[in-house]
Amino acid sequence: MKDTSNSKKENSLKHVLFGSLIGTTIEFFDFYIYANAAVLVFPQLFFPSTDSTNSVLLSLATFSIAFLSRPLGSAVFGHYGDKIGRKTTLVVALLTMGISTVSIGFLPSYANIGIAAPLLLMLCRFGQGLGLGGEWGGAVLLAIENAPPNKRAWYGMFPQLGAPIGLLLSGGTFLILTDTMTAEAFLYYGWRIPFIASSLLVVVGFYIRLKITETPAFENAKKEKDEVKVPFLTLIKFYKNQLIFGTFAAMTTFLVFYLMTVFTLSWATSDLGYSKRDFLLMQLFSVLFFALFIPVSALIADRIGRRQMLIYATIAIVIFGFAFSFFMNSGSPFLVTFFLCVGMTLMGFTYGPLGTFLSELFPTTVRYSGTSLAFNMAGIIGAAFAPMIAIWLATHYSLTYVGFYLSAAACISLFSLLMISKKEHKF
């Protein structure tokens, strides 16, 4: 009789890293096309106003809804991910995100149905956040729980690569559309194309996810009957410090990213005189540095430790914040591009080992819930209102204060990294 155990293990090793990468790529592509549309399209179509700044702020407010719903996704999907397994939960999370995104592409505008239009937009945005709240943690664990102990950061960086790839795809899609269509056509129907087309990516991701087997760490926990009734309650009761410090340690990663993308795109095209096309090109170039330094940081983190890598990168971000105004106000496209590249490089240094770092704070029985919740709570604190806060600071004070905002947040993250327990849990 043929032994299928080895083939199953081989299948897992062959599909697991690509499965975690493709899933997060799809999820972040969906998430970022909304971010681009929130700056370039939604203010006119869903939040028309005589004051363009108010329209942008209202649009960015809907952008923050997904961050608020992500912890709920963490709690719901984390519960089932810790109870029934990583694989099934990941498939459902992907579908939740995908259906919400495609639905946005079919929404009528404010001119067609009035106030119902922004309300439906907010509902779809909520669904995006719910799906992503469950997706990221499961994808990271899928990789890390299959990794050798000395390569956890390297395995854990594969789902992290989905972020820059998704951003490149979304930004590139919007760039192609704006280059090949008139402004009127793009505003009328062109912006809908990437939302609807994401359905094709979801089908691919769904197929690949179905081929993935369960992680060895979860299977071992099931065999040993090492499980808890309600992972979320156990997490709050016994791992509160890890959750709090892990959240604040990850906070600056989100802030630096959304300042480099959403805020700079909005500010540069509205107040600094850059065209949307030119600045999107500058941003897309900088994202290459983000993608490059994710694996670099993972290699370093496997040598010196994930926590130590994050400490060094966070100190660099504290310093970087003081240069914000000098580069953004320089009037030089070269210096602004250089500034974006440095910011994205620092983002890569923090983002690469972040998933591995957070997962090592929690045991298998609550790891899905703990990793997801810390990551997504950090998203609320660090990113949900970051573009709005930054626009307010730049408008009422100056770009210098946006830099202070970043440096202050990095100091809080640094303190949390220094305070957090160094203990790693069994995998």
Which CATH number do you get for residue 253?
A: 1.20.1250.20
The predicted structure's pLDDT at residue 343: 95
Confidence of residue 226 (pLDDT cuts 50, 70, 90): low
- Which range marks the domain in which residue 156 is found? 11-419
The predicted structure's pLDDT at residue 57: 75
Q: Are 313 and 349 in contact (CB under 8 A)?
A: yes
In a domain, 43, yes or no: yes
Per-residue pLDDT at 404 exceeds 70: yes
In a domain, 324, yes or no: yes
In a domain, 1, yes or no: no
In a domain, 5, yes or no: no
The predicted structure's pLDDT at residue 8: 44
The predicted structure's pLDDT at residue 427: 59
* Number of domains into which the chain is organized: 1
Per-residue pLDDT at 4 exceeds 50: no
In a domain, 6, yes or no: no
Rounded Cα gap, residues 320 and 364, in angstroms? 36
Query: 419 versus 233: which is more confidently predicted?
Result: 419
Least confident among 201-215, 249-263, 336-350: 201-215
Q: What's the average model confidence in pLDDT over 47-53?
A: 70
Q: What's the average model confidence in pLDDT over 107-121?
A: 89
Confidence of residue 316 (pLDDT cuts 50, 70, 90): very high
Least confident among 230-234, 349-353, 388-392, 412-416: 230-234
In a domain, 17, yes or no: yes
Contacts of 21 (CB under 8 A, 6+ apart): 158, 159, 161, 162, 165
The predicted structure's pLDDT at residue 311: 96
Q: What average pLDDT does the chain have?
A: 83
In a domain, 427, yes or no: no
In a domain, 207, yes or no: yes
